[in-house]
Amino acid sequence: MSYFNLPSGSGIEYPRSGRLLGEAAELLRLKGFLRNAEDFSYKTAQRVFDDDVAVAREKFDAVLKTLVEAMFPAALVPTDVLPATEFEPVAWALAVTREAAERWDELAALMNSLSFPITEKRDAPIPFLRLYTLDAGIRWGAYQVLRIEHGQQPTFRPVWIERDVFRRVMNKLGGKSVTVAKLAKLARVSKNTMDSWRTGKSEPSNENLAFLSDALAVKAGVPAEELNARLRLAAGAAACRSRLAGLIGEERLSDFIKAFETTARLTSDVLLTVDLGRTERRGKLLDIIHRGAHSQLGQMLCDRLAEKARFHQEVMNDLLALPGPWHNRLNAWAKQLGTIPFAGEPIAKELRIPAKKAQQMMPFIREMLLRMGSYDAQPPEGAHVVTLSGPPEFKARNRASQAGDAFSRGDLRSAIEHMRIAVQWDPSDAGHHYTLGAYLGHTVSPGQHQFLTEALHHCVEAARLAPDLDRPPTEIGIILSNAGRYEDAEEAFAQAEPVASKWDHFHFTRGVNHLFAKRFHAAIPCFRRVLELDPRRVDAAANLVAALESTGLSESDEAVKLRRELDRKTSRWRELIRAPHPV
């Protein structure tokens, strides 16, 4: 994965999925398959890998489909990879990869706009990897149940995620009688080079793989194409694993793998004991493999797993957030990881130790916070859990984290109560006031003003405490607009403009307020400004079209061009056009 420092140097900017797809294709040795594609040129594929937002969605999908088909060639025996009838490995892999790409792009956009940026590169992918590891473990556990029902032994830790995957695959293909020296001779390399490949210290070339697969094919009596595909994917899997370990650290990666294995095992245990119905069982298992935590049984599985993780609170919160939208849980993780570098002084005060010693403890505290492997383990016999009562700002931050978790589960009432307590613990924190005001603002509509005054109060207080922040004064306008007070909302947006004029979302919400008030001419420059600041915002383009059409400019060059570009990106773009809440 590649990350870029923001211009201000204040955090890490996440790339879009195209760039990650390009790196994966490079590591998995799949780029060569793109040169002979019929539906797109290799130059188009390179534009996808460069995160060129102008590439049409159907071209992105064509590139993705070609790469997935290359990973699952017809030569690979499906029953050896996914032994389940009525199951198409290519269609499954394409759906899962497309879902992962879309989810990453949504979350990257969120993480790039957070007020609490992650500043350490090795921490950047951690929030996403935590949730994706658990979701993948649920899918893999359901797949193991299918394996069991087909008379096979379950494998909760697949060989493809092991450091020495290339050695294991070669041993399986060559049999016990093939020595390292013999393998080296077949691949036309030295014994030391072969040892480096087997241990994951270096990678074979495609030419070496061709020599090796041709020779092993004769010995094993299977097509060389099949062996070459297996060896190429094994070498690519080892390279991907090495790349990820280099980014986040081998210890963290091993912990993720252990968490994946634990989740798969626990999921399998649950699915083997619950009654899924004789006729519906197979369909429900396939639904879990396809959709993971968002499947029909996802909520039940996550609740059961969360119960197993009750002594590991962060993993439990991850699991509880898994069936819903992920962005709020990721936001909570970003707050924790973004603020850890500044936590040494409060810890020193709480434990009454020198500040230098507290700072030296921070790496250990960070890793303990992130640990998730074997999360179902019980505390040792005789041990008891101790909760450290920290300074008020720590207690407030803990409440804010719990509020984020509650909000991600759709429990707005609990989120508000947690934030009210956070504000009581640390009344001088602008972020807490802003978050509480924003949560309260979610309850406001033209016919529901119960918490309107309280929501506005906390946003005003946040703006007073941090006059340079763009979000609190913008939120005032949003809340008033939600309440149907469009004139007052425009006054609030006008007052927020000096500090929020460089924030694309400020202009978007101001434009939406103009739409609600039927001030269509005033909305047009707002949405144009959004697209100047962030040309990728499809929602801004859709609402700009709506404003142009409402002012009689439906056939203008601008409107025609926007509609054409939107049609290339998604056929459902009109669903993004905002309308006021009914009274």
Domain spans in the chain, listed from the N-terminal domain onward:
1-113, 120-376, 389-496, 502-583
> For 311-323, what is the mean pLDDT?
89
pLDDT of 360 over the 80 cut: no
CB burial readout 195-234, b (16+ within 10 A) else e: eebbebeebbeeebbbbbbebbbeebebebebbbbbbbbb
| Residue-level pLDDT at 583 | 41
> For 302-320, what is the mean pLDDT?
89
Find the distance separating the first CA and the last CA of the chain, reported in whole Å: 47
Burial bucket for residue 380 (CB in 10 Å: 0-12, 13-18, 19+)? exposed
| Residue-level pLDDT at 2 | 45
Among 47-56, 466-475, 488-497, which is the least confidently predicted range? 47-56
Give residue 438's pLDDT band: very low, low, confident or very high (50, 70, 90). Answer: very high
To 10 degrees, the CA torsion angle through 560, 566, 568, 572? -120
pLDDT of 530 over the 70 cut: yes
pLDDT of 307 over the 60 cut: yes
Q: What is the pLDDT of residues 112-133, one digit of tens each?
A: 665 555 677 788 888 889 999 9
> For 504-508, what is the mean pLDDT?
93
pLDDT of 12 over the 70 cut: no
Among 212-216, 277-281, 298-302, 413-417, which is the least confidently predicted range? 212-216
pTM, two decimals, is 0.63
Give residue 9's pLDDT band: very low, low, confident or very high (50, 70, 90). Answer: very low
Q: Give the distance, in angstroms, between the CA of residue 228 and the centroid of all CA atoms in the same chain.
A: 32
Q: Does domain 389-496 have CATH number 1.25.40.10?
A: yes
CB burial readout 33-43, b (16+ within 10 A) else e: bbeebeebeee
pLDDT of 447 over the 60 cut: yes
* Number of alpha carbons in the 13 Å side-chain half-sphere of residue 97: 23
Q: What is the pLDDT of residues 232-287, one digit of tens each?
A: 888 888 888 888 888 888 999 999 999 999 999 999 999 999 888 878 888 899 88
Of 1.25.40.10, 3.90.1150.10, 1.10.260.40, 3.40.50.1950, which CATH number belongs to 502-583?
1.25.40.10
Tell me the sheet residues that pair with 445.
Answer: 448
> For 394-400, what is the mean pLDDT?
77
Contacts 24+ apart (CB under 8 A), 142-148: 142/267, 142/268, 142/271, 142/285, 142/288, 142/289, 143/82, 143/84, 143/289, 144/264, 144/268, 145/268, 145/271, 145/272, 145/285, 146/83, 146/84, 146/282, 146/285, 146/286, 146/289, 147/83, 148/268, 148/272
Spatial separation of the C-alpha atoms in residues 355 and 361, rounded to whole Å: 10
| Residue-level pLDDT at 510 | 95
Coil, strand or helix: which one is 4? strand
What whole-number percentage of the chain has pLDDT above 70?
Answer: 86
Token digits for 561? 């061009």
Say if 389-496 and 502-583 have the same CATH topology: yes
| Residue-level pLDDT at 581 | 52
Tell me the sheet residues that pair with 143.
Answer: none
Coil, strand or helix: which one is 85? coil
User: What integer best gives the mean pLDDT of the chain?
Assistant: 82
